[in-house]
Every structure is written in C-alpha cells, then in structure tokens.
Chain A
Amino acid sequence: MSRFVYLLVFFFSFPVEAAIDAYPFPNTELQERHNALIEELRCPQCLNTNLAGSDSMIARDLRREVHRMLLEGMSDEEILDFMYERYGDFILYKPRLQKGTLLLWFGPLIFLLLVSIVAFRLVKSRKARISTLSDSEVKRLEELIGKK
C-alpha cells in the first residue's frame, strides 16, 4: 500500500518553481532598465544578493517599487536616490564617490603607486651597485677569476 502511495506521489507531483514576478512594461526599454536596476541594487536583507536574485519579501517589494517608479517616468538616477535615501550605501553595489568611500575608490591606485615607487627604487639601487666597481676592483676580479 505504501509503495502504491509512493508511486502515486512520484507520478502525480508537479514541478515547483520559484515565483518570478513578471511585471508588464509598455516597452522593452523600460524592461531593460528595470532589469539593469534590480541587477545593480543589493537586497537589504541578504548579504550578497542583488534584488533580481533574491526571493525575500523586501526584495520583492523593492522590485515592485522599481517597476512603479519606472512607469511613473522617474530616471535611473532618481530611483537610485530613492533607494539610497532609505537604505544608504548598503543597497548600492557600486558605491558612490564621497568622503567615506574615497579610500575604496582610490585605495588600489594609491597602493599601485606606492608599490611602483618601491619597485623602481629597488631596481635602481641594484643597478647602481653593479656599476660601482672601480678599475682596480675590476683588475682584482679578473685576477681572481684567472687564478681559478
């Protein structure tokens, strides 16, 4: 009997898929902007998922808000501002250029600069050391090599 039930369940179960909210857009341009925005915005509740990839309640609500604002004719910048005013730096995967994020933006550049200076100096000092053999030293060196 239990085997029969098992078979029944096996054959008559329906595939379950995560719900994808299909918002109607009047044109593909808006649709594409919607997709781009929800790719770029981070889900506030999740640590590393964007709005597009999260099934959490807040992500769903925010996708709906992005859709609403696009239909109302708001620009991408205005929508990002709306999100920023409420959720701050966290929600933007691309952090804004401001006092707190200066190091984030230019840190790597500064690091590269420092490393290049160090590398340049090291190479230079090594060259200088090689070329500082005086004539007598060269002679002595040749003697030593000749002896061996």
Chain B
Amino acid sequence: MTVNKSLLIPLVVFILLVTVLALGFRLEDPHYLPSQLINKPFPEFSLPDLHQNDRIITKADLTGDVTLVNVWATWCPNCLVEHPELMRISREEDIVLYGVNYNDETNKAIRWLERHKNPFKLNIVDNKGTLAIDLGVYGAPETFVLDENGVIQYRHVGAVTRMVWDSKILPVVSLLRKQAPGPSGDSE
C-alpha cells in the first residue's frame, strides 16, 4: 500500500504547532513576571526612614554586605503570612533585612510593626510607589537579594516561607558569600 506523503503534512504541521504552543504557554503561573532587574544595580533612591522622618535613606545604606530587601505593606495579606519567617530570618540567619514600606500610611505601618515586631534594620518609606516602580514591583510582598555591591541577584515574588528560604534564597545568599567573603569572614 502506498501512502500519499502529502497527507502526512497536516500531521507534521499539527505536531509542530503543538510543540510551539506547549513551549509558549507552559503551565506556569501566568502572574509570574520574569524580572528585568537581575544582575542590575539596585535603583538609586532617597526616601525617608519610617521611624525617623527627617532621616533620608539612600542606596549607600543598603550596600556593603549581602542583604535582603523586602517590599511590604499593611494592606498586603501575604506580608502578614510571611512575617513570622522574616522574623525568624532576622533572628537566626546571618543576614540583614531592609524593608520598603510600599504605598502605605506611615502611622499604620509603625503600629503594624509594633504589633507584629520589626525584622528590618531600616524601613524605607515609599508612599508614592516610586522605588517600587523602579524595582519593577507589581504587588507585595516581593523580596530581593542584593550582593555587597548593591547588585540585585535574586528576586522572589510572593510570601517568603521556610521552604522558599531553604530552597531558593539561602542557596543564592551562600553562593554570594562564598564568592566574596563578607567583613565577618564567614566564607565557609
């Protein structure tokens, strides 16, 4: 029996189409935006300190060591979800956390931190969302890992849980520490 080869063409085209569509529309979270800022320096900013309104925080305050920058707000339910983990990191892990209080009311934010405790060394008031826009933030919470030069090395969108810390953030932090031993010299 001879097969008309041209009849196979639709099948080939169909398989090609399925492959292309499968690659293009993978079953991943469509909300996830790949960050444009990985390997780019943290944006320059000068914004007030949440607890000391006349004090201006700039990018220079965040550099010098590997750090975490967490974008949070009192209106953000997932920020409350991740808060215990941020508290644990600030207590048990060898890394400093900085907070960006995003589109929030200062008084509410201060009270929120009093009630739930403050894991951050400094809190940056970003009540216009300008720093958040420069960071490409589209929701809260988001967490950035900065190396000692203030270059963004990793970004996590959504709540930081113990699992996220162990499987995603900690490996990046350890790698960065190994590459450039910090002032404390804990390179191992």
Contact = CB atoms under 8 A, between A and B. Distances in A.
Given A118-B9, A122-B6, A125-B6, A58 B129 contact: yes
B138 A44 contact: yes
A85 B31 CA distance: 18
| Residue among B6, B24, B129, B132 having the largest count of chain A Cβ atoms under 10 Å | B129
A16 interface: no
By size class, the interface of chain A is 20 to 34
Contacts, number: 57
A44 B33 contact: yes
Interface in B25-40: 30-31, 33-37
Interface residues of B, number: 25
Contacts of B137: 58
A121 B4 CA distance: 12
B9 to A, nearest CB: 5
A103 B62 CA distance: 41
Contact of B103 (A45, A57, A85, A103): A57
Contacts of B136: 44, 86-88
Contacts of A44: 33, 136, 138
B22 interface: no
Contact of A86 (B30, B36, B139): B36
Interface in B113-134: 128-130, 132-134
Given A58-B139, A61-B128, 16 more contacts: A45-B139, A57-B103, A58-B133, A58-B138, A62-B133, A64-B128, A65-B130, A65-B133, A86-B135, A86-B136, A87-B33, A87-B36, A88-B34, A103-B24, A114-B13, A118-B6
Interface of B: 6, 9-10, 13, 20, 24, 30-31, 33-37, 103, 128-130, 132-139
